[in-house]
Amino acid sequence: MPAPFLRLGVNIDHVATVRNARGGDHPDPVRAALLAIEAGADGITAHLREDRRHIRDEDMARLKREISRPQISKPLNFEMAATDEMVAIALHTRPHASCLVPEKRSERTTEGGLDVVGGHDHLKIIAAELKRAGVRVSLFIEPSMEALDAAQSIGAPIVELHTGSWCDALFHGQTEKADHEFGRIRVAAARAHELGIECHAGHGLDFDTARTIASLPQIVELNIGHFLVGEAIFIGLPKALAKMRAAMDEGRQHAG
């Protein structure tokens, strides 16, 4: 059976990071989202952090409004911490999906997967609440069997496997560690599929790692932000997306 199409979700948080550096309204993350869609993004991801360091409440509302227009109609993936405040905003915004992520104020980015074992009961309540509102729930987890079992018990239809440790190991030239981490992702993707959970992946991906991970046929969506926004400085967002799409398609040809 051929591997399913691999969707590209573009995370536009760091367009907002640049905007906020000067306190004005340029560059506009919603404009970047629309440009990304024009250039082939299959969906838009944005993380409304508790400290609003990049995306703000009004960005999320505008994003939902703009990309849901019938002539555009692309899904919004709302990344959020599992807090009452964020659940209330998600219930009001009604994104296509909510990806629940861990959040620490002191971290530079999302450093690890959710503690789905320790937070099981709390996450189960939140997942059910979002599901009742018609929002697809995704859990950002470490690629481990325990996390997958917990995700299933929580009732999440989707998991997003955290690829950060693998990408970090490659960046630091730690070949053995990188192979080990990639092995964990491969096994976890296969297990998610067995459990009937839709499998996504993301964090720290670039052209090379996206090409490699595209070879795992159970993964149906990649969410990529920082690298694409950085690359856009040099070659522009449409060209960066086209190169990413080509890398993913190339990797997908070797899926199996």
Residues that bind ligand PXP (CB under 6 A): 11, 13, 47, 79, 99, 101, 109-110, 140, 160, 202-205, 223-227
User: Catalytic one among 79, 103, 160, 221?
Assistant: 79
Compute the least distance from the CB of residue 92 to ligand PXP, in Å.
21
* Minimum CB–partner distance for residue 113 and ligand PXP (Å): 9
CB nearer to ligand PXP: give 71 or 211: 211
Q: Which is nearer to ligand PXP, 96 or 226 (CB)?
A: 226
H/E stretch holding 245: helix 237-252
What does the alpha-carbon distance between residue 26 and residue 67 come to, in Å, rounded to a whole number? 19
Cα 91 to Cα 140: distance, rounded to the nearest angstrom? 19
Give, as one character, the DSSP assignment of residue 38: H
Minimum CB distance to ligand PXP smaller for 177 or for 226: 226
Q: How far is the CB of 1 from ligand PXP (least distance, A)?
A: 27
| Shortest distance in whole angstroms from residue 29 CB to ligand PXP | 13
| Catalytic annotation, pick one of 103, 203, 221, 231 | 203
Tokens of 92: 């009001």
Q: In whole angstroms, what is the distance from residue 7 CA to residue 84 CA? A: 30
Residue 47 bears catalytic tag: yes
For residue 1, what are the CA distances in angstroms to 4, 177, 218, 247?
9, 31, 12, 21
Question: Is 122 in the active site?
Answer: no
Closer to ligand PXP by Cβ: residue 40 or 256: 40
- Buried b / exposed e along 2-15 (16+ C-beta atoms within 10 A): ebeebbbbbbbbbb
203 is annotated as an active-site residue: yes
Query: Which residues are part of the catalytic machinery?
Result: 47, 79, 203
